Structure 1
Amino acid sequence: MRRFIANPLSLRVQLLPRVVLANTRRPYCVACEPTPPQAPQAPPAPAPPSAKKSTPPSPSTATDLDHQSIAVAQGLYTISPLTPGSVFFLPHGTRIFNKLLAFMRKQYSLYGYEEVISPIIYKKTLWEQSGHWENYAEDMFSVTGRGAEGEAAKAKQEGRYLEDEEYGLKPMNCPGHCLIYASDDRSYRDLPIRYADFSPLHRNEASGALQGLTRVRRFHQDDAHIFCTPAQITSEIADTLRFVHAVFTVFQLPSYELFLSTRPEKYIGELAEWEQAEGALKEALNTTGREWAVKEGDGAFYGPKIDIVLKDAAGRRHQTATIQLDFQLPHRFNLKYRDAGGEIQAPVIVHRAILGSVERTMAILMEHTAGKWPFWLSPRQATVVPATTAPEVIAYAEAVQRRLSGVTNTLTTATEPPIPILEMATRTFFVDVDASEGKTLGKRVREAQKRRVNFTLVVGQKEMENGSVAVRSRDGKQLGEKTVEEVYQMFLELEKTYQ
């Protein structure tokens, strides 16, 4: 058994012993379940000489454009052997990560979700109640707390929870959201309740399965759980499918397939509940106007689900979004609401993830875009390149950088900000200055293109006098001379329209 001391004064964290059994893994929350990494693909055959000159690299034609190579080239993240499977996002990678979360948070306002923050550690008692300890224990990290040792019999007799009881780091959010729901009395007028959560999750993946961002031990999800009445199931599922389509469209991933996974051979619950749930999912799928297929018997043991499998630019298939119904957790946690007639009823839970693992989504987008991020998501949106080493030109370049970054609202060479703190509504962008000594202007421009910077802004004596910059796009296209304010407005429009 491997053990890691997290804090000698509080908790002892250890890996549960891993037992590998063929075809016995029974994930409890499939909406929170990462998909296995795809089998390695053979490198594509070399292109003929004539094609090499005319065809730009793409994820399907260049083997060096896998997400791990892109991450190294762009300085997005690193991983240490001292914490395998846990990612250190570097500043550029953190910008992408935070923008993905900010994007989802904006949509939550539109689709009626409320964000919550839940603990990452719970007592074993909770996991036994939810069914995870029985069905998922081998994939969880065990944590032991220090407390009232030797009081087990007395505590059990008095119905108390032990302070030194075994804990588990959460592999998914659903039990915690059930506790939030159960913390107050609920009426049918309160439903649906939609809780969203970006808290980090931990799963004890086998070390041999760890791979870049696609298979990790610590990760984040755009995880959400909808508590609704049976009559609301169809509309909630239909709204979620529209949400999925909107997100994939923004990411320019419109090619995806829908699958309905039905009741497996071994299931829990009443047959009538299953038939009602599958009927609701079918009705919601029909509202999309898209073709969908059935995976007979592929549902979770506690409810049917919809799997969404998308295709990237290279034709690779990834399961990210999942929507599933759950009639069992409400019973396990004794969740209730009072209906219009004053009767006590149990809600239905919809487990829902659109991006799935945020880390895996980043990997998919890296390869889908070949590292050429759209401006709104890009970690390096612009670089200002002074044409000369004249001090006044370099000072002007730095003033342009501050204005386009949003740090100042005017073009000034003053180094101190005019106000001590930025307003919450200020739009900021990542813009840096490359005034490297010993490098020609052409070399600095080429290096910016190599780093996949969206715009290179060249400034010299003329631009300084005109309050402008010479704009060059990532593909080398000359966009001409623009004022600094025109460039800032262009940035605002690109971000506003997700370009």
Structure 2
Amino acid sequence: MSAKQTPKQLLLSQGKLDKDIVAVTIGGKLFDLHTPVETTDPTALTPVRATEPLGLEVIRHSTAHVMADAVQRLFPGTKVTIGPAIEDGFYYDFDKPNGPFTEEDLAKIEETMRAIVKEDTEFRREVIARDAAIRLFKEMGETYKVDIIERRPVDEELTLYRHGKPDHEWVDFCAGPHVPRTGLLKAVKLTSVAGAYWRGDERNPMLQRIYGTAFPSQDALKEHLRQLEEAKARDHRKVGKELELFLFDPVAPAMPFFLPKGAFVYNKLFEYMRDLYVKQGYDEVITPQLFDPKLFRTSGHLGHYSENMYRVWTEDLLAEMTDEEKAKGFDAVAEKLRSQSFGIKPMNCPSHCAIFGARKRSYRELPWRVADFGRLHRYERGGTLHGLSRVRSFCQDDAHIFCAEEQVGAETKAFLDFFYQVYRTFGFEKIDVKLATRPDSRIGSDELWDRAEAALAEGLKAAGIEYEISEGEGAFYGPKLEFHVQDVLKRSWQLGTFQYDPNLPERFDLSYIGTDGKEHRPVMLHRAIFGSLERFFAIYLEHCAGNFPTWLSPRQAIVLTVSDKVDSYALESRDKLIARGIRADIDNSADKLGAKIRNARLARYPYLCVVGQKEAETGTLGVRSRDRGELGAISFDEFAEMVVRESQP
């Protein structure tokens, strides 16, 4: 039997080993160039280039190893945990004694990384027995690595990756793959430090997470760093503070306060969606905030979502406890509260099932499209929170469609048309769709899941929309379509969703009377276009950098005076604009005109209306458009009509 060959050897045999190839795929699985493989057929290999997403992943994972090596060279006693590649780079979590990493530390680590890259040593893969791996990392004092290994399945093949010179070899427990040599990692930048709990659990030790990024060329890295600076300038938390849109306060952790201007935008988004609902045939309902736990027990959320739910109770629930129950201590009290306390709703679907099941329904009522803008509450762990994009109190443009199974195709197409119409309005052009299939923890039979997944796939095909499969990423009650929207900085965000659910109608015993006079089970389609309004607000705010279009802008125009001699005309103009339904302000302060213009631009007014003696005499406004530049002198009526036209989405 001949010895296995490496992908490098197989590619060389065909003269196809280009300099930018960092790995290969075989049957869809990723391999590095120096790992022996089963196949002897070079045509079975698909080269992965450094500029491709998979190639970047290999580069970044390898760079994480080099960073960890540099950290341990500079800070002896530091323990390593995990260091994966992520969408825009990589990170590695460290347990570092003597305090957190500083900006100065990052500079030293980068310098040491460059020295390791310059050494240009090989990444070497080594298969190791489980006991030997545990013994190795125990001897090294790497307790986190030991924990990781001990949690692995006993029959899993374990591998190490080494790099470095004989006098300093760095080793990590890792599945790979990696680039052939450290010398290929030439464009690297460490970006930030953050805290992270071991395994994401606040009960575990707090670690130090260093983020970085790597690219195949310095030009690509420079462009990425430019985009990072642009992202900082557009950060919704920064822009929201500058424009006085929202704030957070510890009195309501991770629950936003929308200030007047932010509340206007928020409500305008609802208003926009409500207007479309009329045309799309949706009925809006208002449902309670609190529900008896039996509702969530029926829906299955108590078993699958309990740790993310807020509970409330009244004193009489405690008063009803017997002395015998109280004597059992905290656990007994907690169990009673858990089983009998009301739940603040984390989603609307169970309450919509209650509405549907409140009376007999006919096939003539289907499809029934029911919308709900009710406020939702979910307990998100502290480490996952981020401004408006991940909060504990939020609203969705939530709706559910109850329909017959044969109506699913038409409803899927109608939703897709609706979805793309909305996102075109907000200037989002590139949208990737993923079909998330059944997770391991789920309710319902495989037969139901087969039909549900097939129905969504057929709906996408009928609409001519390409999609990817996200294995095991569906909700516990049904598969879903995820819409990943790319913003102006080419970042991808998951926003809208469309879910096929045969299970909740089953659990709530919902039915309708069909054409045959018999009871039939409806299908329930969960759908949201914005998704969380808070999250959409955050992403759109960064997409437009606070430059809301005229129809959505909380303030549409500001009148700026050249001197106090035209105050009366400026005030009259402002008041007439307001009378025409235009959201207008005035700056007739003692500041110079240049300062007024600068302040108005920082406030992102779509229109600046400068008035001096000439404008007062001619009844005009000197209009400057935020987006189109200088428009010159325009009559009051012409300007007002223009803004009124632009006040529609």
- Give the alignment of 1:21-170 within 5 angstroms: 61=230, 63-147=232-316, 150=320, 165-170=340-345
| AA partner of residue 481 (structure 2) | I
> What SS does the corresponding residue of 2:594 show, helix, strand or coil?
helix
Structure 1 contact 226–349 (Cα < 8 Å) conserved: yes
Structure number with greater CO (CA < 8 Å, separation at least 6) is 1
User: Is 2:449 the counterpart of 1:449?
Assistant: no
Structure 2 residue runs of 5 or longer lacking an equivalent are: 1-196, 202-209, 323-336
Q: Residue 493 of structure 1 aligns with which residue? A: 645
Using the TM superposition, give the Cα deviation of residue 208 of structure 1 relative to its aligned residue in structure 2, in angstroms. 2.9
Checking the alignment, whether the CA contact within 8 Å between 2:231 and 2:542 is kept in structure 1 is no
Separation (CA, whole Å) in 1 of partners of 2:472 and 2:263:
40
- Percent identity over the alignment is 40
Identify if the C-alpha distance between structure 1 residues 58 and 479 changes in structure 2 by more than 3 Å, giving closer, same or farther: farther
1:289 counterpart (464, 476, 490): 464
Matched with 2:71 is none
CA-CA distance at 1:178 after TM superposition: 1.0
Matched-pair contact (CA < 8 Å) for 1:449–1:476 = no
Residue 432 (structure 1) aligned with residue 585 (structure 2): yes
Kindly provide the amino acid, as one letter, of the partner of residue 312 in structure 2: V
1:268 CA drift (Å):
3.1
After superposition, the Cα gap between the structure-2 partners of 1:384 and 1:83, relative to the gap in structure 1 and judged at 3 Å, is same
Matched, 1:217 2:392: yes
Aligned with residue 396 of structure 1, among 546, 569, 585: 569
Question: Looking at CA atoms only, which structure, 1 or 2, has the larger radius of gyration?
Answer: 2
How much has 1:388 moved relative to structure 2? Answer: 1.4
Alignment-derived partner of residue 518 in structure 2: 343
Contact 1:60 1:314 in 2 (8 A): no
Question: Cα 1:347–1:41, aligned 2, differ >3 Å: closer, same or farther?
Answer: farther
Which of 293, 298, 322 is the equivalent residue of 2:497?
322
Match for residue 259 of structure 1 among 414, 431, 434? 434
Whole-angstrom CA distance in 2 between matches of 1:62 and 1:318: 14
Tell me the CA shift for residue 467 of structure 1: 2.4
Q: Which of 265, 278, 281 is residue 453 of structure 2 equivalent to?
A: 278
Shift of 1:41: 7.4
Shift of 1:494: 1.5
Q: Is the 8 A contact 1:209 1:215 kept in 2?
A: yes
- 1:119, CA displacement in angstroms? 0.7
- After superposition, the Cα gap between the structure-2 partners of 1:241 and 1:282, relative to the gap in structure 1 and judged at 3 Å, is same
- Per-residue CA shift, 1:235-271, capped at 9, x if unaligned? 1111111111111111111101111122344543233
Native 8 Å contact 2:582 2:644 kept in 1: no
Give the stretch that moved more between structures: 474-483 or 143-152.
Answer: 143-152
Deviations 1:200-248 (A, max 9, x none): 1101112232211011111111011111110111111111111111111
What's the offset of the Cα at 1:144?
Answer: 0.3
1:58 Cα shift? Answer: 7.2
What is the rounded CA distance, in whole Å, between the counterparts of 1:270 and 1:130 in structure 2?
16
Q: What are the superposed Cα offsets for residues 89-146 of structure 1, whole Å, 9 maximum, x if unpaired?
A: 1111111111111111111111111111111111112111111111111111110035
For residue 605 of structure 2, give the secondary structure of its aligned residue in structure 1.
coil
Deviation at 1:60, TM superposition (A): 6.1
Provide the C-alpha distance between the structure 2 equivalents of 1:58 and 1:263, rounded to a whole number of angstroms. Answer: 36
Give the distance between the partners of 1:478 and 1:403, measured in 2 at CA: 22
1:34-56 Cα distance to aligned partner (Å, 9 max, x none): xxxxx977799xx99xx99xxxx
* Closer/same/farther in 2, CA of residues 198 and 264 from structure 1, 3 Å limit: same
1:401 CA drift (Å):
1.6
Q: 1:303-330, CA deviations, whole angstroms, 9 ceiling, x for partnerless residues?
A: 2211111111111111111111111111
Query: Which residue of 1 is the match for residue 624 of structure 2?
Result: 472
Aligned residue number for residue 420 of structure 1: none
Q: More helix by proportion, 1 or 2?
A: 2
Counterparts of 2:646 and 2:227, CA distance in 1: 23
Aligned equivalent of 1:459, options 595, 611, 626: 611
Q: Tell me the CA shift for residue 301 of structure 1.
A: 3.1
Q: CA deviation at 1:372?
A: 1.6
1:422 equivalent in structure 2: none
The amino acid that maps onto 1:324 is: Q
Cα–Cα, structure 1 residues 352 and 475, in superposed 2: closer, same or farther, change >3 Å? closer
AA at the equivalent of 2:251: L
Q: How many aligned positions are there?
A: 423
Give 2:173's aligned residue: none
In structure 1, the gaps of 5 or more residues are: 1-19, 25-38, 153-161, 410-427
* 3-state SS of paired residue (2:473): coil
State the one-letter code of the partner of 1:273. Answer: L
Q: Does the 8 A contact of 1:59 with 1:65 survive in 2?
A: no
Q: Is the 8 A contact 1:43 1:63 kept in 2?
A: no
Task: Give, in whole Å, the separation in 2 of the partners of 1:474 and 1:485.
Answer: 20
Q: Which amino acid aligns with 2:248?
A: I
**SS of equivalent residue, structure 1 residue 375:** coil
Counterparts of 1:400 and 1:229 in 2: how far apart (Å)? Answer: 57
Residue of 329, 348, 364 corresponding to 1:189: 364
- Post-superposition Cα deviations, 1:409-465, rounded to whole Å, max 9, x if no partner, equal 5xxxxxxxxxxxxxxxxxx3321011112x111210121112111110011233223
Match of 2:414? 239
